[in-house]
Amino acid sequence: MKTFTKRQISISGAVLVLLALYPLAVSGSFAMHLMIMVFLFATLGVAWNIMGGYAGMFSFGQAAFFGIGAYTSSFLFTAYHVNPWIGLLAGGVAAAAAAALIGIPCSNLRGHYFAIASIAFAEIVRIHFNNWKLIGAAEGLTIPMQDESLRNFMFHSSKAPYYYIMLAFLLLSLGVCAWVATSRMGFYLRAIKESHDVAKVLGVDVVRYRMAAIMISAFLTAMVGTFYAQYILYLDPESVLILPISVQIVLVSMLGGAGSVMGPVIGAAILLPISEFTRVKLGFKGSGLDMIIYGTLIMLISVYQPQGVWGILQKIGRKKK
Amino acid sequence: MADQLLQQVVNSLLIGSVYALVAIGLTLIWGVMNVLNFAHGDFLMIGMFISFWCYTLLKMDPLFSIPVCAAALFLLGAGIYRFIISKVMKGPGLAQLVVTFGVSIFLANLAVMLWTPDFRLIEKPLLSGTWSLGSVQLSIPKFVASVGSVVVSAAVLLFLKKTRTGKAILAVEMNRDAAQLMGINTEKINSLSFGLGSALVGIAGAFLSMYYYIYPQVGGLFGLISFCIVALGGFGSIEGAFIAGILIGLVQTLGGYFFDPAYKYALVFLVYLITVWIRPQGLMGS
């Protein structure tokens, strides 16, 4: 079985070259920021997809893993001067450990119950971080300025390095997702999604594979959290641990197509420009109009595009052949 | 110490019964349609604002705007079902979950646009003050809201068990296909249940407006708590939702009192997680 067709490889190659050249072609920090946010949410969506799209565990609490990642590296750096790259790995491990902890009570939950449990978990983390003095409680953490270098994971003169790092993270997570999807684990996860009970009867270790999916997803999500902290250089619970972040992650995946490797990337590429533009153009007055449009968009996607754009693109691609 | 404990238990019951009413509205919708309405808390907020404007513009006390809130929310709920929710019912499960988030964000921010994010309070409601019963202080508006919530909850249960329409709703909840074969118009039952569930949360909104701050984001927390109550009580169970509502009221108030007020809602969520771990189907679910 060939996993990729020649056509797919050449299209992906062309897209990659274009993306690599993008920072050279555009000027202006908004254009760069926008693409960084597209990559960032695409990566978060890909990570969500491993547990949500393949295994059917619809998590609405990804912000917890994102926040744990961001906080772990930032705390280790501000308190002990630990290099952020090591902090990134530590954050991933911390998030995976948290995922294991929450995965145990949730390992048998399905559908709505899982969704609510994931929100409950994320809310506990948010409330706790808001009151945890060691990590700055509600005031949050500010990451002190460093010289700009890849080693320090900090850049001041240009956003381009952040752009390339986030693109690399996206490719890495796509690789992990493709590996999961094509491996035996992906097969089992889909079986569990189709029917929990049938999979169990057939001898699939349901709890083990579900846990593995949650932990991989948490690790990748936390990694993006560290990136976000190094990019914004400030974090507090109300900016990284909130429900709207979790919802946006789900939305990106659903719009693109949950359960396909590339789906969340397409979803992020469509949704983020819309949400960032409305935020910049309409959000400054605090009138709520940007969020009214966002809410309307969510309803429209759910009603008219619930299967995701990726499916439509594939159909068009097949017809052309 | 014993006096303070008694006071805390009374406080728990006062808030728990209102939680129960909010949650019963949600569980009715969940049970009949298997739809988790994330906008439920925002429906509560709309109910509170309707009561507020009735008071401010029409000099109508919250006590008298209860039917107005119920009717308005019934129409809102049935309308949102008809024009939005019913369109995703045949779609994938994820879309059914996400669509009500869209409704929630839309309503909360519509309220921000129309009425600003400010906090408001009904300053001179008809009911105010406290009764002193021995060492226990009983706030009169809270007491009336609590008793009212119990009465409305009991009325809903009676309606479902004793009337033809109520029995039809329960039949659809038990088995949609069989109910349809028996000649029940399930689409009509869906609209009705969504409207009824929303009307209940509208009534709860009117009750809460007598003593609670009114602002566009007020629904968020109430919504989340009512999810926990519903899942804790068991899928679609009215009795379960009522018991779980009181239970959550106890956890929140006593936890805040003995442990740390900042963590009272975290405790609610923790109790939820532990319960579904031991009993994934909830307290009264089968």
Across the interface, do A289 and B265 touch by the CB < 8 Å criterion? no
Reported as a pLDDT band with limits 50, 70 and 90, residue A321 is: low
Residue in A113, A244, A297 closest to B276 by CB? A113
Q: What would the pLDDT profile of A183-231 be if each residue is shown by its tens digit? A: 988 888 888 887 878 888 888 888 899 999 999 999 999 999 999 999 9
Residue in A123, A295, A307 closest to B105 by CB? A295
| Mean pLDDT taken over chain A | 89
Highest mean pLDDT among A17-26, B188-197, B252-261: B188-197
Beta-carbon neighbour count of residue A225 at 10 Å?
33
Across the interface, do A251 and B98 touch by the CB < 8 Å criterion? yes
Segments forming the whole domain that contains residue B262: 8-278
CATH number at residue B83: 1.10.3470
Min Cα distance B108 → chain A (Å) is: 8
Whether the per-residue pLDDT at B220 is higher than 80: the answer is yes
Reported as a pLDDT band with limits 50, 70 and 90, residue A286 is: low
d(CA B87, CA A166): 37
CB A303 within 8 A of CB B82: no
d(CA A44, CA A49): 9
Min Cα distance A199 → chain B (Å) is: 19
Q: What are B186's two structure tokens?
A: 């399930």
Count of domains forming chain A: 1
Burial class (CB in 10 A: 0-12, 13-18, 19+), A311: middle
Across the interface, do A115 and B36 touch by the CB < 8 Å criterion? yes
- Residue of chain A nearest B225, judged by CA positions: A120
> Residue A87 domain-assigned?
yes
Instruction: Please enumerate in sequence order all residues whose Cβ is within 8 A of that of B64, keeping only pairs 6 or more positions apart, or say none.
Output: B54
Segments forming the whole domain that contains residue A215: 28-242
Whether the per-residue pLDDT at A56 is higher than 80: the answer is yes
Across the interface, do B92 and A306 touch by the CB < 8 Å criterion? yes
**Residue to substitute from B45, B94, B260, B268, interface A, most A β-carbons within 10 A:** B94
> Residue B273 domain-assigned?
yes
CB pairs under 8 A between A and B: 146
d(CA B280, CA A297): 34
> Residue A249 domain-assigned?
no
Across the interface, do B280 and A113 touch by the CB < 8 Å criterion? yes
> Residue B286 domain-assigned?
no
**Residue to substitute from B37, B85, B88, B109, interface A, most A β-carbons within 10 A:** B109
Question: Which of A239-243, B87-91, B243-247 shows the lowest per-residue confidence on average (mean pLDDT)?
Answer: B87-91
Mean pLDDT of B7-21: 94
In chain A, residues with a C-beta closer than 8 Å to the C-beta of B277 are: 104-106
**Residue to substitute from A302, A304, A309, A310, interface B, most B β-carbons within 10 A:** A302
Count of domains forming chain B: 1
Reported as a pLDDT band with limits 50, 70 and 90, residue A284 is: low
Across the interface, do B102 and A292 touch by the CB < 8 Å criterion? no
Across the interface, do B102 and A297 touch by the CB < 8 Å criterion? yes
Residue in A58, A123, A288 closest to B94 by CB? A58
Q: So what's the pLDDT on residue A1?
A: 41
Q: What would the pLDDT profile of A253-277 be if each residue is shown by its tens digit? A: 998 988 888 999 999 999 999 888 8
> Residue B285 domain-assigned?
no
> Residue A310 domain-assigned?
no
Across the interface, do B93 and A111 touch by the CB < 8 Å criterion? yes
Min Cα distance A237 → chain B (Å) is: 14
In chain B, residues with a C-beta closer than 8 Å to the C-beta of A116 are: 36, 227-228, 231, 272
Which of A101, A111, A98 shows the shortest CA–CA distance to A63?
Answer: A98
| Residue B17 to residues A150, A200, B161, B250, Cα–Cα distance (Å) | 57, 40, 21, 10
| A254-285 burial: b if 16+ Cβ within 10 Å, else e | bbbbbbbbbbbbbbbbbbbeebbebeeebbee
> Residue B3 domain-assigned?
no
- Residue of chain A nearest B216, judged by CA positions: A288
Whether the per-residue pLDDT at A2 is higher than 60: the answer is no
> Residue A314 domain-assigned?
no
d(CA A128, CA A116): 18
Q: So what's the pLDDT on residue A105?
A: 83
Mean pLDDT of B63-82: 96
**Residue to substitute from B89, B98, B222, interface A, most A β-carbons within 10 A:** B98
- Residue of chain B nearest A259, judged by CA positions: B94
d(CA A7, CA A13): 10
The owner of tokens 């902290």 is A229
Across the interface, do B277 and A105 touch by the CB < 8 Å criterion? yes
Structure-model confidence comparison of residues B114 and A25, the more confident one: B114
Q: What would the pLDDT profile of A141-181 be if each residue is shown by its tens digit? A: 999 988 889 999 999 888 999 999 999 999 999 999 999 99
Percent share of chain A, pLDDT over 70: 97
| A116-149 burial: b if 16+ Cβ within 10 Å, else e | bbbbbbbbbbbbbbbeeeebbeeebbebeebeee
Q: What would the pLDDT profile of A97-152 be if each residue is shown by its tens digit? A: 999 999 888 877 878 889 999 999 999 999 999 999 999 888 999 999 888 899 99
Instruction: Please enumerate in sequence order all residues whose Cβ is within 8 A of that of A229, keeping only pairs 6 or more positions apart, or say none.
Output: A69, A70, A71, A73, A74, A84, A141, A143, A235, A240
